[in-house]
Chains A and B, each alone.
Chain A
Amino acid sequence: MIGRVHQTKTIMGFSVAMLATASVLIAAGAQQEKTFQTTKNPRISLTNFIGSVSVKGWNKPEVHAVYVVTFTPGVEVDTEGIPNKGRAQKLHFETHLLNSKARDGNEAVDYVLEVPRSSSLEIRNPQGSVRVEGLKGDTWIESVGGSISAVDITGPLTLRSLGGALEMIRPAGYIEASTVTGDMHFISPLSSRIRANTTSGQIYYEGNLAPAGEYVLSSYSGDINIDCPRSSSFELNARSVHGKLDNELRLTPKQHEAFSPRYGNGLFGTHNQGEATLELTSYTGSIHIRPQP
């Protein structure tokens, strides 16, 4: 009798250990790794559902991709290089659900890509974060709820997220950014042309304005916060229907009748020589312009 109990306990213990091992394996995910020889400026698209995406530019004419599938039975990653012989000009990465009905929200794939700096990039990641760094080709990223971070991007940059925050650190190319509820943060931008709009997110701009640059920022109910050096030189056109305008920089006001708003509040003038153009518009959100400490 004692022997049978012992045997049963041993089997149960072994089963538990096997289950635990399997769980660990599933939790750890199935990591895959691929390298593609490419041109210097390939076009790369990536479509994912859930999970993080990280892309970094490097100087090699190849793409190195690591992806971790955390829900192995239901998800796979399709990759395709075009042309399929020689150096690829286009690369597609796509997360693919094997059974579209068997969805439980855990179908996550995390991607880490290293790509040529001049790559053109197109990323859709509705429910995960995206980080891109060190690229100089066209970069286009879209999410629904995920945050997007772009660091040292010198090429044109288009970022869109409904609810995720957008962060742009030292961007240098043309920027088009939009959110509905997500905040936007421009940190030390070098871009001379920025267009950004949000419905209820906050906009933070921290840095200088390029001479002859054009910056058009608008929100509905979110605040717009501009923190720039006292030495920056810009022409200001700020309007808000119901929001407060708060400027702490010396402004030479424009006297012309055309610059008197018929509705709401307006602030029009030049700071220093007025080299850049700064257009700020809100409906109920406040607009703050402050000198950087």
Chain B
Amino acid sequence: MTGEQEERTGFTEGCVAFDTELEAYLEGENRPQITLHARECSYCGSLLADLEKIRQACGEPMLQQAFEVEPPQTMWPSLRASLIAEGIIRQPEGFWQRWFGGQASLWRPLPVAGMAAIALAGFIFLSGPRRYINSSSGTQVGQAIQKESLTAMDQDPQFDQMEQRFKSKVALFNPSLRDAYMKSLASLDSEIVECRRNAHRQPSNPLTIQYLASAYAQKAEVLQSALETNAP
């Protein structure tokens, strides 16, 4: 990484090495450079502190399961927003904003407890394409919280309130904006309905759960985007 790149992105070679070795460190391997770099770099230090707090909040075995898998890209922003909202972790600046779209976004993640639960379920239950297929231990952990999480999402009053507020607000939008929102939500609702139906038929199908969790997260982001927009 050149000096110019470092200046532009804020990353150093140490950050790249940190990123590479973080998983092994969290799995208990001796990686002294992780803690050393975390002390020198505020971004990575903040990240490590957050992950340590998640480890404490979730329990170490669960986190280890989580790190065996690669989360879907939509999971982390929602999970993180929920954990911040609940005060479990704090909001660093720069690093995560750059990598996980934490800018003041039209699609700001929704801070609701149900979102945290379902995102966590997805995060743990779902794995990278190469690993999930026969990952029975991951499946067990995921299933243990999956049912509760999906129920929490369906019954979350904040989610329901958001939909009601959205309906009031969208009526004030101009037709093209309203159309874009309504079509998107219709598409996501259709996905949710079908995935829920299939999740009941095949509760251990990880792809169905992955899509369902992702659809909920996206729907929350779309609703939040509409509620926050100042567009006419």
Contacts and interface: CB of A to CB of B under 8 A. Distances in A.
Interface residues of A, number: 52
Given A144-B229, A220-B191, 7 more contacts: A140-B103, A142-B106, A162-B181, A163-B180, A195-B73, A241-B207, A260-B133
A180 B133 CA distance: 27
A100 interface: yes
30 contacts: A49-B231, A49-B232, A50-B232, A97-B230, A97-B232, A103-B232, A122-B103, A126-B177, A126-B231, A127-B174, A127-B176, A137-B8, A144-B229, A144-B231, A145-B180, A160-B106, A160-B107, A163-B179, A199-B187, A199-B215, A220-B187, A220-B211, A221-B190, A237-B129, A239-B129, A241-B198, A241-B211, A263-B202, A263-B205, A281-B129
Contacts of B98: 138
Contacts of A142: 105-107
B134 interface: yes
B10 to A, nearest CB: 10
Interface string A255-293: 001111111100000000000000101011000000000
A38 interface: no
B232 A281 contact: no
Contacts of B183: 162-163, 180-181
Nearest to A40: B4
Interface string B8-38: 1100000000000000000000000000000
Most chain B CB inside 10 Å of its own CB: which residue of A100, A107, A120, A145 = A145
Interface residues of B, number: 46
Interface of A: 41, 49-50, 97, 100, 103-105, 107, 118, 120, 122, 124, 126-127, 137-138, 140, 142, 144-145, 158, 160, 162-164, 176, 178, 180-181, 195, 197, 199-200, 216, 220-221, 237, 239, 241, 257-264, 279, 281, 283-284
Contacts of B61: none
A127 B105 CA distance: 15
B149 interface: no
A176 B73 contact: yes
A120 B5 CA distance: 12
A97 B232 CA distance: 9
A262 B202 CA distance: 11
Contacts of A162: 180-181, 183-184, 222, 225
A231 to B, nearest CB: 25
B117 to A, nearest CB: 22
A258 B133 contact: yes
Nearest to A238: B129
Contact of A180 (B7, B129, B184, B232): B184
Given A195-B73, A220-B211, A144 B232 contact: no
Contacts of A127: 174, 176-177, 180, 231
Contacts of A178: 74
A260 B130 CA distance: 10
